């Protein structure tokens, strides 16, 4: 009996490792490509360009902030120093809020992984949904300002950012990378120097910021694939509004970056979750957690923080309903597409990319441990 129990546990563990490895192989090439594009953005799109266009309380500044945030690959805590930096440089509260929503909800890296693990339609829907949510929230925040309009002192703005980011990844410089010289226009004057700096940021600092969270997401996806019966969510959760609410309850307090949330959503889709409910998880998970809300309360005020969460809830539910009806209208079975994504690239490319990712994450982990 004891041997049978041990053997059963080992079989489950082996299945989880196998499924997790399969997810990593499928996503690996697209994750690396996403990091590469993120490095190019970091190298050749100056931070001053973003700050220049986000001042004032106009709808235009909110729209610009949401669109600028869409391709940037920063997690919900990594975006805090960047967003509050924009606020200190003159961005309105609405624009800052829009940036804080669209940036963590999507990015070039997570869009690449969405294409790899889910389907092309969701790859398009995800940034569009993030933009809509961000614009809605930003307009609300500007329309209902705090009674006290004076901005908080600079020291109050900075303290929670440094505290939060030290807690998340051990770095004091935050996810924007500005204090290590990358944002200094004189540090890399040549195009080649900028390119090298961007790649060092993408495959160094970014990997250290979100790489381990990505592997956690891959492991969770492996557990779901190995342990959850097929159609389990259809049978026990159902579809429609109940499934949307369940995903909200799970996602709102969860700390998971956009890239790491994708393999989890893909596994849930294969077990019967609807596309709309998966979108709720993809939107609400990366954009909300305790650290984000705490910093918003202290830096932008109670009303802005409340409207931030309210906007994510309202837009997630409304967009989920629209997406489910869109898939039905188009006659698309997302589960069929998700189950066939392994055919996109040769197997050896995925294996090599998975090994490279494991090496980069392992190196960043050893570096962070040895550095402090």
Query: pLDDT at position 262, please?
Result: 87
Q: How far apart are CA 188 and CA 136, in angstroms?
A: 38
Query: pLDDT at position 128, please?
Result: 96
Give the helix ranges, DSSP H, for the chain.
Answer: 2-44, 47-52, 59-69, 79-88, 93-105, 108-117, 120-143, 154-169, 191-200, 207-227, 232-236, 241-251, 258-270, 275-287, 290-299, 302-330, 334-338, 347-370
Query: pLDDT at position 159, please?
Result: 39
Query: pLDDT at position 89, please?
Result: 60
**Under the phi-then-psi rule, with left for phi > 0, alpha for psi from -120 to 50, and beta for the rest, what region is 274?**
beta
Query: pLDDT at position 311, please?
Result: 95
CB 113 within 8 A of CB 263: yes
- The answer for residues whose C-beta is within 8 angstroms of residue 78's C-beta and 6 or more apart is 104, 165, 168, 174, 175, 176, 209, 210
Residues of the chain with confidence (pLDDT) below 70: 1-7, 34, 45, 47-57, 74-78, 80-82, 84-85, 88-89, 147-189, 228-239, 255, 289-291, 339-345, 368-372
CB 269 within 8 A of CB 118: yes
Residue of 369, 332, 356 whose CA lies nearest to 124: 332
Query: pLDDT at position 183, please?
Result: 44
Q: How far apart are CA 343 and CA 330, in angstroms?
A: 23
Q: What is the DSSP string of 214-240?
A: HHHHHHHHHHHHHHSPTTHHHHHT-ST
Residue of 202, 176, 209 whose CA lies nearest to 83: 176
List residues bridging with 32 in a β-sheet.
none
**What three-state secondary structure class fits 241?**
helix
Burial degree of 150 (CB within 10 A; 0-12, 13-18, 19+)? exposed
Query: pLDDT at position 189, please?
Result: 67
- The answer for residues whose C-beta is within 8 angstroms of residue 196's C-beta and 6 or more apart is 188
Query: pLDDT at position 109, please?
Result: 82
Query: Could you tell me the two tokens for 94?
Result: 């609405």
Query: pLDDT at position 150, please?
Result: 46
**Which pTM was predicted?**
0.69
Query: Could you tell me the two tokens for 239?
Result: 């579809």
Residue 152: CA atoms inside 13 Å, Cβ hemisphere, count? 18
Q: How far apart are CA 58 and CA 38, in angstroms?
A: 28
Query: pLDDT at position 132, please?
Result: 96
Query: Could you tell me the two tokens for 130?
Result: 């993030």
CB 295 within 8 A of CB 79: no
Burial degree of 369 (CB within 10 A; 0-12, 13-18, 19+)? exposed
Query: pLDDT at position 153, please?
Result: 34
CB 210 within 8 A of CB 119: no
Query: Could you tell me the two tokens for 75?
Result: 């997690």
The count of other CB atoms within 10 Å of the CB of residue 186 is: 6
* Residue 173: DSSP 8-state: S
């Amino acid at each position: 009996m004891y041997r049978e129990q041990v053997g059963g546990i080992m079989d489950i563990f082996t299945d989880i490792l196998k499924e997790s490895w399969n997810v990593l192989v499928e996503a690996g090439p697209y994750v690396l490509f996403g990091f590469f594009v993120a490095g190019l953005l970091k190298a050749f799109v100056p931070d001053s360009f973003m700050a220049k266009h986000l001042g004032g309380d106009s709808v235009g500044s909110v729209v610009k902030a949401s669109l600028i945030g869409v391709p940037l690959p920063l997690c919900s805590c990594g975006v805090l120093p960047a967003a509050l930096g924009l606020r200190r440089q003159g961005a309105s509260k609405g624009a800052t809020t829009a940036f804080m929503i669209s940036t963590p909800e999507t990015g070039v890296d997570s869009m690449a992984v969405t294409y790899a693990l889910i389907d092309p339609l969701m790859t398009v829907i995800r940034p569009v949904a993030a933009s809509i949510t961000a614009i809605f929230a930003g307009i609300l925040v500007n329309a209902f300002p705090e009674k006290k309009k004076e901005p908080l002192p600079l020291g109050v703005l900075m303290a929670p950012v440094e505290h939060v980011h030290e807690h998340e990844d051990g770095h004091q410089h935050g996810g924007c990378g500005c204090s290590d010289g990358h944002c200094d226009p004189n540090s890399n004057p040549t195009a080649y120097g900028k390119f090298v700096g961007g790649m060092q940021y993408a495959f160094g600092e970014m990997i250290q910021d979100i790489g381990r969270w990505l592997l956690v997401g891959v492991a969770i996806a492996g557990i779901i694939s190995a342990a959850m019966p097929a159609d389990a969510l259809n049978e026990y959760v159902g579809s429609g509004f109940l499934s949307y609410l369940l995903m909200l309850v799970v996602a709102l307090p969860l700390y998971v970056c956009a890239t790491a949330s994708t393999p989890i959503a893909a596994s849930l889709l294969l077990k019967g979750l609807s596309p709309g409910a998966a979108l709720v998880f993809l939107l609400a998970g990366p954009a909300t957690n305790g650290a984000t809300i705490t910093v918003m309360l202290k830096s932008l005020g109670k009303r802005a923080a409340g409207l931030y969460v309210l906007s994510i809830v309202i837009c997630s539910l409304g967009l989920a309903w629209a997406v489910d009806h869109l898939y039905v209208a188009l006659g698309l079975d997302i589960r069929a597409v998700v189950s066939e994504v392994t055919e996109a690239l040769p197997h050896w490319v995925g294996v090599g990319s998975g090994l490279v990712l494991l090496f980069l994450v392992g190196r960043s982990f050893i570096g962070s441990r040895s550095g402090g």
